[in-house]
Every structure is written in C-alpha cells, then in structure tokens.
Amino acid sequence: MFRAVARIFRTPDLRRKIGFTLGIVALFRLGSFIPAPFVDFGNVQSCLAANQNTSGLYELVNLFSGGALLQLSIFALGIMPYITASIITQLLRVVIPHFETLHKEGQAGQSKLTQYTRYLTIALAVLQSTTLITVARSGALFGTTTVAECTQLITDDAWYAIMLMVITMTAGTGLIMWMGELITERGIGNGMSLLIFTSIAAQFPNSLWSIAQAKGFETFLLVIAVGLLIMAAVVFVEQSQRRIPVQYAKRMVGRRTYGGNNTYIPIKVNMAGVVPVIFASSLLYLPALIAQFNQPAAGQSPAPWVTWVTNYLTKGDHPLYMILYFLLIVGFTYFYVAITFNPEEVADNMKKYGGFIPGIRAGRPTAEYLDYVLTRVTLPGSIYLGLIALIPLVALAIVGATSNFPFGGASILIVVGVGLETVKQIDSQLQQRHYEGLLR
C-alpha cells in the first residue's frame, strides 16, 4: 500500500494533477472564511458559538457550503446552486423535448446542456443570495435565538450595500463553478464532486469534537465505532450491483467480423445516489421556510398552521417528521431512477447492435424485463437511502447529537461515493503507467 502511494508521487503527471487539485481545494476553503461586504464578522461568530448545537432551517445548504453559509462569507452559497441547476436540467429532459434531443446529440448537445446549467446556476445564486440576506437582516438566520448579536449581522441596510452583497455571493458561486471545472479538466477526479466532498469533510473534526465536549469521551468513541460500521455498510451497498448478462451476435461488415462477445448491464442497488435525500430535505424545508416568513407581530399568537408546522416539521426528532422524510426518500428514489434509466432506450440500443439477454426476446420483452429487474433492485436501494438519511435524526433522538453527528444522511453518502470514484481514477492512471494500481 505504501509503495503504491509512493508511486503516485514519483509519477510526474499524476503528482502535478494531485498538487493542482489540492491547491484549488485550499483556495476554496480559504474563501469560505472571508466575510462578504457589510457583514459584522464578530456578531456572526458570536451567533455561531451560541447556536452550534442546533439544527437550523439551512442545515443542508450549510453542510454543502462547508459552514460558509452561516458565516455569510463570499462563498456562502457554496456549490448548492450548481447542484440544484443540474437536477433541474435533468428533470427538464422529461418535460421539454429539446433537452432530451440535446442529450442524445453526444458531445455537442452535452456542451449546450452544460451551458444552460451554468446560466441557471447564476440565476439561482441571485435568488438564493437575496433570500439569505433577507433572512439575515430579519435576524431569523439562526432560528429563534435570544442572542442579541444575531439581529445585527449586517452593518448597512442601504440598497447599494444589499446589491453589493448579492453580487459578491453570486460571483462567489460562479468562481466555485469555474474552480470545479478546472479540477475536472486539469486535476484528478470530478471537480464539483470533490468540492462538495471537501465542504462536508471539513465539518467532520469540529462535529466530532463538539460531541466529545457535550457527551464525553465514551460517547465520542461510540460514535467513531458506529461511524466506521456505517461507512463499511455504505461502501458495500454502493459497490453492489445486479449484472444482467448481454450477448452480441456476430455480424459481417465488409470483410470484418463484429460482435460475438459477452458483456453485462450493471444495475446498481443505489442508482439514484444522494439526489432523493436532497429532494426530500428540500421539500420538507419548504413549509418551515414559508412559516418563518409568516411570523405574527408582537403580542399576537401565530396562525394554527404555523404552529403545526413549527411543532411537527421543523424538529428532526419528531416521529412524524421521520416517517415523512423516509417515505419521501423512497418515492423520490423511484422517481429519479425512472427518469435517468430508460429500459426502452436500452433495449432499442441493444437490438440495433445485435445484442440480447439470454432467454429474453429482443425489443419490448427486453424492456419489460429490464423494468422488472430495475423495480425490484430499486426497492432495497430506496430503503437503504431512507435508513442512512435517518441516522442523524435517530442520533438526535437518542444522544442529542443533532447536526454534529457526521456519519449519516447526505454527508456519508457523498464522502464515500466521491472517495471511491477518486481512488478508482488514481488507480486507473497508475495502471496505465506502472501496470500495477493502487487497489488490490
């Protein structure tokens, strides 16, 4: 293992790519601590210290920004606008035929879809930065807190100050998007995924230390042990797949023979990745966000629906919240898999090139068989996603770890998934140069 790591740094091209990637990651983390204009950095730090053990409305976005959101930094929005834009672009393929046509056009079509995603990212960044600044001005960024500094996060309420903050945060999102594309082009791994990985992994030491301070060293060791077991289980499931065998008939083109080989279609247990967890979290945050903007005036009681939402849909340890969260993840898993894997398209491509599944007729019977397998493989995958996502909420109910529990939900799925893909890319490049990879 150590010899394999040494070979990485003895390979000039690979060493240069890893160095470039680490340099971009360092700049990304530096920007997460630079406050935006007209932000009172001292008051922000006081609020963070007073509310570090609470899970607020923006917990998911703050997780993907590496804690930069609640610090109101220039990279406050992080990579979340790009993630949202990418998901919307994928969903629009089902609604708008032009997007599906571009998807099938190969590299040229993919370039246009990428450009549309960039434009949508900037538009979402303007919208989200405006919302974030509005909530910060109202003093509700950290929820219902009694700390006086939390109502004085912005030093100037003038229109030009607000506009400058919006422009700065939007430009920060554009810079992060460019940095991610630079890593993909000149570094190692997928740039956007690595930046998300960095944002989440940067929270781990502080989260674990907070658990140790609040619950003691014994609970800290228990959390580490449980975290290792969860990571092993996630690696096992993420690598699991149902391989459907495919045979290609021999065919003559001129004097050459094509086909005649055997391959397989890999259907992963978790084909949807972390997207259903993001969908479910966002949907459950909407009622709480609407209720937050409908708070009553001083001396008045809140509306009944606002009270109900506050009691049931903002507390992660409530059974109703857990049940809704789990059911939404299961439903969104089936929905996302259905729009990203088209059995009819796969069956048509197989038929076009002379491929068939042994024992299954080509064409419609193949599509029905693929749909049959996909539906049944997705069931344990959706249940697995729901259980992983509930781990932080269960930790909140049992040991009061709140958002400090890092081994669960979207965080562990992204960290393990991105880590596996990056190691595989390094391994493949080592095999190309030394005929021996990093993995055994």
Domains and CATH numbers, the chain: 28-202 (1.10.3370.10), 204-407 (1.10.3370.10)
Q: What CA–CA distance (Å, rounded) separates 24 from 66?
A: 15
229-254 per-residue burial string, b: 16 or more CB within 10 A, e: under 16: ebeeebeebbeeeeebebbbeeeeee
Report how far residue 29's alpha carbon sits from residue 205's, in angstroms, rounded to the nearest whole number: 15
- Spell out the per-residue pLDDT of the chain, length 440, in tens: 567 677 777 778 888 888 899 999 999 999 888 888 888 878 777 777 766 544 445 566 666 666 677 778 888 888 888 888 888 888 888 788 888 888 878 788 888 888 999 999 999 999 989 988 887 887 767 665 556 666 778 888 888 889 999 999 999 999 999 999 999 888 888 888 888 888 888 888 877 787 777 777 887 888 788 888 888 888 899 888 899 988 887 766 666 666 567 888 889 998 888 888 878 877 877 777 777 666 666 566 777 777 777 777 766 667 888 888 899 999 999 988 988 888 888 888 888 877 888 888 888 889 999 999 999 999 999 999 888 888 877 766 666 555 556 666 778 888 888 888 888 888 777 777 665 656 55
Structure token pair of residue 228: 């290792």
pTM for the full model?
0.80
Q: Which residues of 56-79 are buried (b: 16+ CB within 10 A; e: fewer)?
A: bbbbbbbbbbbbbbbbbbbbbbbb
Closest C-alpha among 65, 26, 22, 28 to residue 178: 28
**Residue in the block written with tokens 């004097």:** 255
